[in-house]
Amino acid sequence: MGKALDGVRILDFTHVQSGPTCTQLLAWFGADVIKVERAGAGDITREQLRDIPDVDSLYFTMLNHNKRSVTIDTKNPEGKQVLEALIQKCDVLVENFAPGALDRMGFTWERIQELNPRMIVASVKGFGPGPYEDCKVYENVAQCAGGAASTTGFDDGPPVVTGAQIGDSGTGLHLALGIVTALYQRTQTGRGQRVLAAMQDGVLNLCRVKLRDQQRLERTGVMKEYPQYPNGKFGEAVPRAGNASGGGQPGWILKCKGWETDPNAYIYFITQAPVWAKICNVIGKEEWATDPDYATPAARLPRLKDIFAEIERWTMTKTKFEAMQILNKYDIPCGPILSMKEIAEEPSLRQTGTIVEVDHPTRGKYLTVGNPIKLSDSPTEVKRSPLLGEHTDEVMAELGYSPEQISALRTAGAI
Ligand SMILES: CC(C)(COP(=O)(O)OP(=O)(O)OC[C@H]1O[C@@H](n2cnc3c(N)ncnc32)[C@H](O)[C@@H]1OP(=O)(O)O)[C@@H](O)C(=O)NCCC(=O)NCCS
């Protein structure tokens, strides 16, 4: 069976997490992704957070599946020529170097256009144009600058970053969408274009509801679904809302049986309005279904803390899975707090290819997250990440270099 992006060639000049997330997705959709790495060293993540000495780290292997690796010294004049040949042969160049690095290497947008006017040049940067555009940025800087940290955590504590890599992987996803969109436009125009996904913008896009709340706060001075209501104070900016749902249906994280010893014995419980009567029945508070103090969403808002405390008295008598089973029978929206151990062992995620076991020549078997986006006509087969420079000769031959030329370039340190 063919793949959605068959025939698309990507010059993958990415490193660390944000860029590699993007090009890995494109590879899973069928693009030929050629990862260009620094000769002798490679992507810095190959050696970061290693769990086995001298073996590519899980950090690297889990972000670089289905790619080919070539090593080129792009600051060496002959190495530059190899990169030029690749630019002429590829459809998209993806990079996430520090601002200006590609220009300093001599590959400005204008130069790339001269070499290949159809080329799409896609970049992740920390910030878009403005006061911070020259700054280097990592995940948590983006979470802080994009509004996630100021709105995450509890009201009486400091800002908190989230474990989900919304700055890196989130921006990689945004960039991938920009690239396929530009490829589609190119079918009409015949021209390449630049695609920029700034990490601050990507995080802010995912924090859209908090900018919504900022404006609601400015207009009304209060947000009734936030835990600060009715007893706490609201300031000028959107406060941290603990585990409140962020939407129109109030929710909270509640203890389940075993919470005293198991840090993940909790369930997320949503008091969705249409199933309120069923919730009252399940927790044994039938009278709340008709009591005017509890019967409507508006009446419940000032009492949410007490309501969740009462529901928790019920959830604490069940394990999170028992509670999930009972609540789902009544269509009450809820979700167990799953640990990474539980997720890794979950059979249904293995069956769908969302968790995949991969074999690697030096590491052996390891688990990875497969393609979360499933296309019915373009199934994903997750293949191991390449060793450093594993495909240098193969790609050089495809570019038309003879074995003698390849060996001369190797001697010169260009590849
Ligand atoms: C992530 C980041 C902070 C890392 O910074 P860094 O480790 O100092 O790496 P840089 O991107 O500055 O690149 C280092 C140098 O390697 C050089 N280099 C990269 N590949 C090379 C190659 N194959 N051959 C020769 N030189 C190479 C670059 O040209 C650059 O040189 P310069 O500084 O002389 O111009 C930075 O790349 C960045 O801010 N990226 C954009 C935002 C981003 O993606 N952040 C999230 C990362 S998950």
Q: What is the pLDDT of residues 349-383, one digit of tens each?
A: 999 999 999 999 999 999 999 999 999 999 999 99
Q: Is the pLDDT of residue 247 over 80?
A: no
pLDDT tens across 122-153, in order? 999 999 999 999 999 999 999 999 999 999 99
Q: Is the pLDDT of residue 248 over 90?
A: no
Tokens coding 139: 């995940």
Contact predicate 382/371, CB 8 Å: yes
Active site residue 134: no
State residue 408's pLDDT score: 97
Pocket lining: 191 vs ligand 1, CB cutoff 6 Å: no
Question: Does the annotation list 13 as a binding residue?
Answer: no
Contact predicate 108/28, CB 8 Å: no
- % pLDDT > 70, the chain: 100
Atom of ligand 1 nearest to the CA of 44: 7
Pocket lining: 41 vs ligand 1, CB cutoff 6 Å: no
Task: Place 40 in a pLDDT band, splitting at 50, 70 and 90.
Answer: confident
Question: Does the annotation list 98 as a binding residue?
Answer: yes
Average pLDDT along the chain: 97
| Weakest-pLDDT range from 90-99, 157-166, 243-252 | 243-252
Task: Kindly give the distance from the C-alpha atom of residue 101 to the centroid of ligand 1, in angstroms, as a whole number.
Answer: 7
Q: Three-state SS string across the chain, please? A: CCCCCCCCEEEEECCCCHHHHHHHHHHHCCCEEEEEECCCCCCHHHHCCCCCCCCCCHHHHCCCCCEEEEECCCCCHHHHHHHHHHHHHCCEEEECCCCCHHHHCCCCHHHHHHHCCCCEEEEEECCCCCCCCCCCCCHHHHHHHCCCHHHCCCCCCCCCCCCCCCCCHHHHHHHHHHHHHHHHHHHHHCCCCEEEEEHHHHHHHHCHHHHHHHHHHHHHCCCCCCCCCCCCCCCCCCCCCCCCCCCCCCEEEEECCCCCCCCCCEEEEECCHHHHHHHHHHHCCHHHHCCCCCCCHHHHHHHHHHHHHHHHHHHCCCCHHHHHHHHHHCCCCEEECCCHHHHHHCHHHHHCCCEEEEEECCCEEEEEECCCCCCCCCCCCCCCCCCCCCCHHHHHHHCCCCHHHHHHHHHCCCC
State residue 83's pLDDT score: 97
- Which amino acid, residue 337? I
**Segment 145-170 mean pLDDT:** 97
Strand-strand pairing, 32-37 and 9-13: parallel
Name which residue sits closest to atom 33 of ligand 1, judged by CA: 101
Pocket lining: 35 vs ligand 1, CB cutoff 6 Å: no
State residue 292's pLDDT score: 97
Check 43, 56, 73, 168 and give the catalytic one: 168
CA distance 124 to 106: 19
Pocket lining: 334 vs ligand 1, CB cutoff 6 Å: no
Pocket lining: 43 vs ligand 1, CB cutoff 6 Å: no
pLDDT tens across 63-106, in order? 999 999 999 999 999 999 999 999 999 999 999 999 999 999 99
What's the whole-model pTM score?
0.96
State residue 44's pLDDT score: 97
Contact predicate 17/46, CB 8 Å: no
State residue 245's pLDDT score: 83
Task: Place 170 in a pLDDT band, splitting at 50, 70 and 90.
Answer: very high
Question: Does the annotation list 138 as a binding residue?
Answer: yes
Tokens coding 168: 């890196």
CA distance 380 to 372: 10
Question: Does the annotation list 247 as a binding residue?
Answer: yes
Residue in 284, 385, 287, 328 with CA at minimum distance from that of residue 23: 385
**Segment 206-230 mean pLDDT:** 95
- Which amino acid, residue 204? L
Task: Place 411 in a pLDDT band, splitting at 50, 70 and 90.
Answer: very high
Radius of gyration (Cα) for the chain, nearest Å?
A: 26
Q: Is the pLDDT of residue 161 over 80?
A: yes
Q: Dihedrals φ, ψ of 373, to 5°?
A: -105, 120
State residue 106's pLDDT score: 95
Pocket lining: 101 vs ligand 1, CB cutoff 6 Å: yes
Task: Kindly give the distance from the C-alpha atom of residue 141 to the centroid of ligand 1, in angstroms, as a whole number.
Answer: 17
Name which residue sits closest to atom 8 of ligand 1, judged by CA: 98
